[in-house]
Amino acid sequence: MRFIARTALTALAATTLGLGSQAQAQDKPHDGVTVNLMTFTGPQIAEPLQRRGKEFGEATGATINVITVPFSDLYQKVLTDWLTGTDSLDAAVFAPQWSVDYVVPGLLEDLSDRVAADDALQADDIAEFFREFSQKVDGSTYMITVDGDFHMVYYRTDVAEELGLEGPTTWDDYLAFAEAANGMDMNGDGEADYGSCIAKKRNAQSYWMITSIASAWLQSQGTSQGAFFDTADMTPLTDNAGFAAALEVYKRTGDYAPSDEINLDVGDTRNLFTQGRCALTLDWGDIGTLAIDPENSQVIDKVGAVVLPGSTEVLDRESGELVACDDTTCPHHVNGVNHAPFAAFGGWSGGVSAAADDAVKDAAYAFFSYVSQPEQSNADVTVGATGFNPYRTSQFDSLDSWIEGGMSERAAENYLGAIQDSLNSPNMVLDLRIPQNQRYQQIVLDTAIARYLAGELDTEQTMAAITEGWQEITEELGRQEQLTAYTSTIGAD
Amino acid sequence: MSDRRLGEMSPLTKIVVYGLLIGWSLIVLFPLYWVLITSVKLPGQVGDGPDYLPFIDFTPSLHAWRYIFVDLGSDTFRPYLNSVIIAGASTVLAMAVGACAAYALARLHFRPRLLSIGLFLVCLGLGVWMIGSGLVGWPIAAASGVAIFVISVLALSRVRSPRLGNSDILFWVISQRILPPVVAALPIYIMFQQIGILDTHLAIILTYTTVNMPIVVWLMYDFFAAIPIDIEESAELDGASRFRIFREMVLPLAKPGLAATSLLVLILSWNEYLLALFLSTARAQTIPLLVAAQNATRGPQWWYMSVLIVIMIVPVVLLTILLQRLIAKGLLLGAVKG
Amino acid sequence: MASERLDGFFDRNAGRLFILPAVLLILTFSLFPLIISAWLSVSRFKLGRDGFTLSYIGELNFKKLFTGSQQFHFLGTFSSIPFTGWLILIVTALLIGLGIRQWMRSGRLTVLGGIGRLIAFGTIAALAWVFASTMQDGRLGSLSTTLFYVVAGVSLQFVIGTGLAFLCAQDIRGRSFFRLVFFIPLMVTPVGIAYTFRMLADMSLGPFSPLWKAAGFGDFSWAADPWTARLVIVIGDSWQWIPFIFIIMLAAFESQPRDEIEAAELDGAGPWRVFRDITWPSVAPVAATVVLIRIIEAFKIVDLPNVLTNGGPGIATESLTLHAFIEWRALNLGGSAAVAYTLLFVSTIVCVAFFQLVVRPMRQARGQTG
């Protein structure tokens, strides 16, 4: 009797378990799969990935293991891991700017088919710039955008009002604003504050700033004209009247800035700005959401954002001279001003290793899709701590989630308006995306600019240093290969 | 033990001496104090200017401590455990290997032939070339390199050649310390990757052992040399083997030196950053990496960093206090003689 | 029987067995990587269709550093030699002269010794010349900056460390307390120290900002001037390493031969005589050794410049290891290896020269061999 009961119970248990696991298998398509994902140390970017990773894991049975390293080491760590065949990483969230270096040796998985079959991702909702330029290399999709990155100028609306000024439309406006505001006490602590705070620290994230300024002169005919090299022969666009003008502007902003600006990175300038010590700053979208943080911000509802200031003169590449901005020279001008919003860095995106197991690839892709889907993404982009900035058109549609996040209606309109102006601009500048672009930007450009700001080089010498340095790298790596890569990346061929 | 030479110091001298010493103590302790109070400050408090005294200038908060221990939990615990395992194991290994080598150099006479060394280098170069040109896999290249070396040494064993001595070997071992880690990092990475032990404790332990062993040899050599040789000689006459003499007689006498050297090596391993960065990805991360990683795009997270620095220092300080007496004696006897 | 044979085998080869693990470790993890690094330094790394390629390019990487486009980065920007530069050259010439005279006097003139000294003195002279010619306006390259860190840093650390040790060796109370407290900076991880000093040196958020402002320096930024930036790094480095020198020199002072001192005092010798005849000879070898150890370590400095200034302003605080590290991060493996190898070369020459010319004679004077 007891024996029968025991057997029956065991059988019952087994069946239930069996049924249960079957149900589990159906609910948890990635059960038992572990995805090792690398990104840089947060809380920006890493925190939402970890949080969404847990949710995703609970829903699908996968384990998302987020590994973080300092930002400056991310590029080489992932590349070394995949190039040497170590393959301890299955996926990474990094810069689409680097994707060429990963795609050419065949390290990244082609995601085009998966994206095409994925309705939940709502790929059409992703702004065209990110969908077509950022995610794709040579027409195939390799990365999934989770964050939209481009530079804007932020200013103190209260200070502007006091001075009778508006958000700057040209860089001359910017300088004038900074000069007027410099020395005022902008946060009520009795100390003089600064007109402009721009992160200029070497070996940090500063080398994008100069391009943000220079593009206004260098690119006027649309994204496919490019802002770094001449599309005919790969000559750097760093030795001309436009770049010189940009350098001078960049240096002059330092006249109205903290004396140690040359040692400030974005973290420091963001702090300064949210503590109310700067009238103007140039930064990614984070300031918008950081400024409304009730715990740490002293400038809640006092911040306005504008599209990157432009220029009334643009470079004529044939003659090397500056010409006035009109319908021919700058077809995309706005009231005679050429704006070239710069998608600096490109926006954190997820890529999957081509060497991973199929099950892991599926899980990794599904995770990235999950993070990028409107339901998750639209909530995350309203929170400054996530580091995610808007990149989907649906994120601009309604102000509700932003107001829920803490922005006033006016601030939300202003902030989103500036982002939308940037996103919708046909003259957006794509970040440099050729093989080993790190050497061009992080080594040559960063060093030359740092020396320029430190007073070691003058404008002429700086331009010469950058140009020579870039030409040397191009020669080393093969001019024709670099040119092909460059033109295909900006769609100029 | 006082230095009787200045045994009777004038009150003025006393004040000056104590003043300078206390002054330097402040210089040492102030940055640490600053780190400690930063670990209980809120981001806003750090951002708007210096606050010096807790409870008076600002209200301390445990948010950073909570974040590091609770929110991050295993992400803090794992690197901490890794650091403990790696530093501990590499210290023990470095001491073992280094002490043996130091003892041998202090007591025995080596006279390697310059010719053998030359042959060795040639075979090494040959092996590297074979691997580099991709002709054969590394196991075959290594095996053939060793084989060629052994054969050529035996074949040329009658050939006369100048010889090197103990001091040369000693210098060679110590000079390894001159090698900047950045030179060796990538090749070591590739070596480990070929064997498949990247991102494991073993990889970093082996690397640290190699890097720190020269210091052990340097310091312990002087300790061993200072021990009177007659004790060992009489034991030898009694028929004890080298190993027994070493283990049962020499080591106990050198305890202070061992303690001092172990502490130094432990500190070096505990705090090392560059090699750990190269050789670890996820599983074998150590705490210095975690400290550096607190420099996020939002700016250095001073408060989290401070917590990590504090929990890094505390165990080492405790260990030092424990070993204080031993170390004081050890330094007295040992490296000093050098 | 067999175990006795085994014991006998172990005993005969005890020496080799004792030293074998150390030798094996060094060969595998030092020598082998060294050769591979040498190969890297003469090749170029490129990403390609099937992964990466390393192509042999000969001395091009080195040429770039010494005479090519990276010369400003590595050696510095050459200009006229300022007054301080001439001083440095004169002092170096005097030291070299002393070294030559010491060698002539030693009576043991060998070819090997001659070649060695030629290389050593030649390199040191070249380094001094590079430093002096790039000093103007502080436009030093990473090579000269590293030399500055080594010379200025070790000198400062030695003076303060020995001074503290001397004070602590006097008849004072609380010696154990001081010994422990002074030792603590050595326990902090260098990365932690770098960030701590960054906090402390912050002109507006650091604890000294009221002082700066009161002294009128409120607007000055130490990070914007090359020499003050380097100075701050030397200060941070010294804070960490003075304990090391202190501990060892303290032990040295404490272990002076007490009986000799008492005898000398009984004979009526003044403190200066005692110091010169008894203290200095017993302490000098230790001092030389500890300075050598510090020099070896100082050449490898990287954490402080990396964190405090990221190598800035411009390239003013970039040490050779940091230079190699930055190149490596952008996957310029050949360039990185070339810089690292040059560091190894310079470091070896200076350290070996110091060992042969300073440490050895002092040890021999003391009666030690080797």
Class of domain B73-109+197-338: mainly alpha
CB B169 within 8 A of CB B110: yes
**AA letter at C216:** G
Chain A residues near residue C72 by CB distance under 8 angstroms: 465
Cβ count within 10 A of residue B29: 14
Tell me the H-state helices in B133-200: 138-155, 166-175, 181-195
| pLDDT band (50, 70, 90) for residue A16 | very low
Residue C50 belongs to a domain: no
Give the Cα separation of C17 and B104 in Å (integer).
9
Nearest to A118 by CA among A291, A362, A299: A362
The total number of structural domains that make up chain C: 1
Looking at residue B236, its pLDDT comes to: 78
pLDDT of C369 above 80? no
Residue B11: asked if its preceding bond is cis (omega within 30°), the reply is: no
Percent of chain B with pLDDT over 90: 9
User: Are B295 and C195 within 8 A, CB to CB?
Assistant: yes
Q: At what angle do helices C320-329 and C142-168 cross, to 10 degrees?
A: 130
Name which of A300-304, B134-138, C245-249, C350-354 the model is least confident about: B134-138
Residue B253 near chain C (CB below 8 Å): no
CB A69 within 8 A of CB A89: no
Looking at residue B188, its pLDDT comes to: 87
More confident site: B76 or A341 = A341
User: Are C309 and A263 within 8 A, CB to CB?
Assistant: yes
Name which of A298-307, A308-317, B323-332 the model is least confident about: B323-332
CATH superfamily of the domain spanning A152-344+418-490: Periplasmic binding protein-like II (3.40.190.10)
Name which of B76-80, B231-235, B325-329 the model is least confident about: B325-329
Chain C nearest CA to A453, separation (Å): 7
Looking at residue A297, its pLDDT comes to: 83
What's the pLDDT tens digit per position in B22-33? Answer: 899 999 999 988
pLDDT of A449 above 50? yes
Numbered residues of chain B with Cβ closer than 8 Å to any chain A Cβ: 42-44, 47-48, 189-190, 193, 198-199, 277, 281-282, 289, 292-300
Task: For chain C, give the mean pLDDT.
Answer: 83
Residue C95 belongs to a domain: no
| pLDDT band (50, 70, 90) for residue A92 | very high
Instruction: Give the residue numbers spanning the domain of C182.
Output: 64-77+139-366
Taking residues C218-235, what's their average pLDDT? 84
pLDDT of A124 above 70? yes
pLDDT of B333 above 60? no
Residue C163 belongs to a domain: yes
Looking at residue C154, its pLDDT comes to: 95
* Probe site for chain B from C168, C187, C368 (most B CB atoms < 10 A): C187
What's the pLDDT tens digit per position in C135-172? Answer: 887 788 899 999 999 999 999 999 999 988 888 887 77
Chain B nearest CA to A74, separation (Å): 10
Chain A residues near residue B189 by CB distance under 8 angstroms: 80, 84
What's the pLDDT tens digit per position in B234-280? Answer: 887 887 777 777 887 788 877 777 887 888 899 889 988 888 888 88
pLDDT of B2 above 60? no
| pLDDT band (50, 70, 90) for residue A14 | very low
Ramachandran area for residue C260 (φ above 0: left; ψ -120 to 50: alpha; else beta) = alpha
Name which of A4-8, A233-237, B82-86 the model is least confident about: A4-8
Looking at residue B58, its pLDDT comes to: 75
Domain residue ranges in chain B? 73-109+197-338
Q: Which of A97-115 are b and which e, b meaning 16 or more Cβ less than 10 Å from the residue's Cβ?
A: bbbbbbbbbebbbebeebb
What's the pLDDT tens digit per position in A347-358? Answer: 899 999 999 999
Give the Cα separation of C338 and C324 in Å (integer).
8
Percent of chain B with pLDDT over 70: 88
Would you say the CATH fold of A152-344+418-490 matches that of A27-149+346-412?
yes
Listed by number, the residues of chain B in 151-210 with a beta carbon closer than 8 Å to a beta carbon of chain C are: 166-167, 169-173, 175-188, 190-191, 206-207, 209-210
pLDDT of A472 above 50? yes
B4: CB partners within 8 A, 6+ apart: C171, C258, C261, C262, C265
Looking at residue A131, its pLDDT comes to: 86
CB C165 within 8 A of CB C246: yes
User: Are B299 and A65 within 8 A, CB to CB?
Assistant: no
Taking residues A435-443, what's their average pLDDT? 87
User: Are B198 and A73 within 8 A, CB to CB?
Assistant: no
Taking residues C94-101, what's their average pLDDT? 87
pLDDT of B1 above 80? no
Closest by Cβ to B296, choosing from A85, A267, A290: A267
Q: Which of B144-169 are b and which e, b meaning 16 or more Cβ less than 10 Å from the residue's Cβ?
A: ebeeebeebeeeeeeeeeeebebebb
Residue C4 near chain A (CB below 8 Å): no
Give the Cα separation of B122 and B116 in Å (integer).
10
Chain B residues near residue C325 by CB distance under 8 angstroms: 182, 274
Residue A488 near chain C (CB below 8 Å): no
What SS3 state is found at C78? coil
Residue C101 belongs to a domain: no
pLDDT of C55 above 90? no
Residue C32 belongs to a domain: no
How many inter-chain contacts (B to C, CB under 8 Å) are there? 304
Looking at residue B337, its pLDDT comes to: 44
Taking residues B142-169, what's their average pLDDT? 79
pLDDT of C288 above 80? yes
User: Are B296 and A43 within 8 A, CB to CB?
Assistant: yes
Name which of B68-72, C71-75, C223-227 the model is least confident about: B68-72
Give the Cα separation of A301 and A415 in Å (integer).
11
Cα separation values, C367 from A17, B338, C285, C360, C364, Å: 82, 10, 10, 10, 5
User: Are A70 and B292 within 8 A, CB to CB?
Assistant: yes
pLDDT of A444 above 80? yes
CATH number where C266 lies: 1.10.3720.10
Chain B residues near residue C207 by CB distance under 8 angstroms: 30, 34, 50, 52
Looking at residue B287, its pLDDT comes to: 86
Taking residues B224-230, what's their average pLDDT? 78
Residue B140 near chain C (CB below 8 Å): no
- Tokens matching residue B212: 């720190």
pLDDT of A293 above 60? yes
Residue C119 belongs to a domain: no
Total count of residues recorded for chain A = 493
Looking at residue A21, its pLDDT comes to: 46
| pLDDT band (50, 70, 90) for residue B334 | very low
More confident site: C218 or C221 = C221
pLDDT of A142 above 80? yes
Chosen CATH of A27-149+346-412 out of 3.30.420.40, 3.30.70.260, 3.40.190.10, 3.40.50.970: 3.40.190.10
User: Are A266 and B193 within 8 A, CB to CB?
Assistant: no
Give the Cα separation of A48 and A385 in Å (integer).
9
What's the pLDDT tens digit per position in B157-208? Answer: 777 777 777 777 888 887 888 888 887 888 888 788 778 777 789 999 999 9
Chain C nearest CA to A222, separation (Å): 30
pLDDT of A172 above 90? yes
Residue C328 near chain A (CB below 8 Å): yes
Task: For chain A, give the mean pLDDT.
Answer: 86
A153: CB partners within 8 A, 6+ apart: A167, A168, A174, A280, A281, A282, A305, A306, A307, A308, A309
B114: CB partners within 8 A, 6+ apart: B161, B162, B163, B164
Residue in B with minimal Cα distance to C165: B21
What's the pLDDT tens digit per position in C60-89? Answer: 888 888 888 888 888 888 888 888 889 999
Total count of residues recorded for chain C = 370
pTM: 0.84
CB A152 within 8 A of CB A306: yes
